[in-house]
Amino acid sequence: MTAEDVLRVAQTHLDPTRLQVVIVGPADTLQPALEALDIGPVTVHPPTDELFAD
């Protein structure tokens, strides 16, 4: 498999207008940096599992 193969398949099967990125980390640090990129809306989902809650 070559980089060209990956690019061809991605261009065939991925719609960039429907892609979503999931980033895990401290929202207070990451949110401003992500919003500064101005590439789309940033939605923060707080932890719901009490094992991960502060």
Predicted local distance difference test score (pLDDT) of residue 47: 81
How does residue 50 score in pLDDT terms, banded at 50, 70 and 90? low
Q: Which residue has the higher pLDDT, 52 or 33?
A: 33
Interior/surface letters 23-39, b for 16+ CB within 10 angstroms, e for the rest: eeeeeeeeeeebeeeee
Q: Which residues contact 42 (CB under 8 A, 6 or more apart)?
A: 31, 34, 35
Per-residue pLDDT reduced to its tens digit, 4-36: 999 999 999 999 889 898 999 999 999 999 999
